[in-house]
Amino acid sequence: MYDLVTALSIWLIPALIVFIPLYAAFRKIPVYESFVDGAKGGFDTAIAIIPHLVGMMVAINMFRASGAMELMVQGLQPLMAAIGIPSEVLPLGMLRPLTGAGSLAYTTHLIENYGPDSIIGRIASTIQGSTDTTLYVLTVYFGAIGIRRSRYALKVGLFSDLVGFVAAVFICLYIFG
């Protein structure tokens, strides 16, 4: 099982990088022109979402600086320990839906302290790949097209992050633990 995961991780990205332009050329899609058009649209979108991003970053920093996140982590640690989730990765599970940079910094901290091949390092890396920065995604995508009410998107996104977190932990414990 471990050899299969290793082989996939080595060859999947290069295969996609080769496959996508070849598929586009086969379909007679002008690859470079499509890329340039997309880059132009991306720049306009980036300018349009700056106010939304600033608001979100202020709210995230207030949440972290107030100590609310640390209080939540301390309250959840006994429950997580009871179901077998290492307490070291719990802050990552809380940071990941909020901030990509903050969660990456915390993952780096865990890997530096425990090592990349430790169970904590593997769980942290898998959480990074299995969850998303839900609040950032909602801010960017919904802000870019002017949606003000997200309806169920926030609930579904946060639930998906929870499922991704729990699945990452238990799959890593099963495969590597």
**Domain spans in the chain, listed from the N-terminal domain onward:** 48-176
Return the pLDDT at 160. Answer: 95
Contacts for 162 with CB less than 8 Å, ≥ 6 apart: 93
Instruction: Identify the CA nearest to 130 among candidates 112, 150, 107, 114.
Output: 107
CA distances from 176 to 52, 170, 173 (A): 40, 10, 5
Interval 122-156: pLDDT, tens: 999 999 999 999 988 887 788 777 777 777 888 99
Q: Count each helix (H run) and each strand (E run) in the chain, helices first.
A: 8, 0
Q: Is 146 left (phi over 0), alpha (psi -120 to 50) or beta?
A: left
Q: What is the C-alpha separation between 172 and 162, in angstroms, rounded?
A: 15
pLDDT value for 53: 74
Report the chain's terminal Cα–Cα distance, integer Å.
13
Q: How far apart are CA 149 and CA 78, in angstroms?
A: 35
Residue type, 154: L
What does the pLDDT look like over 104-130, one tens digit per residue? Answer: 888 999 999 999 999 999 999 999 999
**Per-residue pLDDT tens over the stretch 39-94:** 888 888 778 778 877 877 787 778 778 988 788 888 988 998 898 899 899 989 98
The whole-model pTM stands at: 0.67
